[in-house]
């Protein structure tokens, strides 16, 4: 069975500082990995995803993530945080079977001025 | 032009009542989903439909009955509402339902059962 663990339910950074949100997954088959962002009172939207190919994936708003199979990780980073990045971030995993995506518990990102 | 829309946005009701939430997508996708997000933001799949056929039913109580009249619509009817049903319900869609596809989420329906 697949699962996702996000380390840290809350992360706080200063504006301009590095953002690092951690995600580890468990999957018996090659996984597809996603990061979604949820702004207050909105639905989720895709930041980036890894399917195959290059392990460093770039997404919207300057975010990127690296798939590391040996570490079963897919951490999300952004070099310089902006106030508008404050939101809930979800890591997710699915497989080729489709129809079912497993989401992590989410990490709330706070950005201090 | 909203890609995935849900109605109503807010729903406040008494225990024991029956209510429905509607979802529509105009993306031409074959697959639609219902998720429940609890007060701690945990997001859990409830149902997946592909071409109007139920594919996934994640041990959801029988009080919850999804209906897909066509590929663009997936409605959720809830009978005999309980306090524990209070949550945000999200509808989503994807093109064919394969694992690598992006899911597109609606804005959510905030259900409060009193």
Report pLDDT digits (tens) over A28-50: 788 899 999 999 989 999 999 99
pLDDT at A95: 76
Task: State how beta strands A87-94 and A107-112 pair.
Answer: antiparallel
- pLDDT, averaged across chain A: 93
Contact residues, chain A, for B106 at CB < 8 Å: 43
What does the pLDDT read at residue B44?
Answer: 92
pLDDT higher than threshold 90 for residue A85: yes
Going by C-alpha positions, the residue among B44, B36, B53 that lies closest to residue B96 is B53
Q: Do A41 and B108 touch (CB under 8 A)?
A: yes
For chains A and B, count residue pairs whose Cβ atoms are closer than 8 Å: 67
* % residues pLDDT > 90 (chain B): 82
Rg (CA), chain B: 13
Of A11-15, A86-90, A97-101, B76-80, minimum mean pLDDT range: A97-101
Q: Is A105 on the interface with B (CB under 8 A)?
A: yes
How is the beta sheet containing B4-7 ordered, strand by strand?
B4-7, B19-25, B73-78, B64-70
A60 touches B: beta carbon within 8 Å: no
Phi, psi of A83 (to 5 degrees): -55, -35
The pLDDT, as a whole number, for residue B34 is 96
Residue A112 is predicted with a pLDDT of: 97
Residues 6+ apart with CB under 8 A from A54: none
Q: B11: distance to nearest CA of chain A, Å?
A: 14
Task: Report the residue of chain A nearest B57, measured CA to CA.
Answer: A100
């Amino acid at each position: 069975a697949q699962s996702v663990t996000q380390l840290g339910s809350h992360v706080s950074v200063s504006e301009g500082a590095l953002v690092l949100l951690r995600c580890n997954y468990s999957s018996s088959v090659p996984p597809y990995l996603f990061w979604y962002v949820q702004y207050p009172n909105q639905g989720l939207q895709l930041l980036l995803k890894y399917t195959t190919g290059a392990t460093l994936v770039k997404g919207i708003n300057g975010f990127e993530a690296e798939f590391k199979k040996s570490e079963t990780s897919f951490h999300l980073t952004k070099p310089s945080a902006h106030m508008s990045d404050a939101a809930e971030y979800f890591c997710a995993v699915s497989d080729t079977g489709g129809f079912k995506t497993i989401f992590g518990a989410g990490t709330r990102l706070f950005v201090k001025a | 032009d909203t890609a995935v829309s849900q109605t109503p946005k807010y729903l406040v009701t008494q225990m024991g009542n029956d209510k429905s939430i509607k979802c529509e997508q105009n993306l031409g996708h074959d697959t639609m989903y219902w998720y429940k997000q609890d007060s701690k933001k945990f997001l859990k799949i409830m149902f997946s439909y592909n071409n109007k056929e139920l594919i996934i039913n994640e041990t959801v109580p029988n009080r919850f009955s999804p209906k897909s009249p066509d590929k663009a619509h997936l409605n959720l009817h809830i009978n005999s509402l309980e306090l524990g049903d209070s949550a945000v319900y999200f509808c989503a869609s994807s093109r064919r339902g394969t694992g690598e596809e992006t899911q597109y989420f609606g804005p959510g329906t905030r259900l409060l059962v009193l």
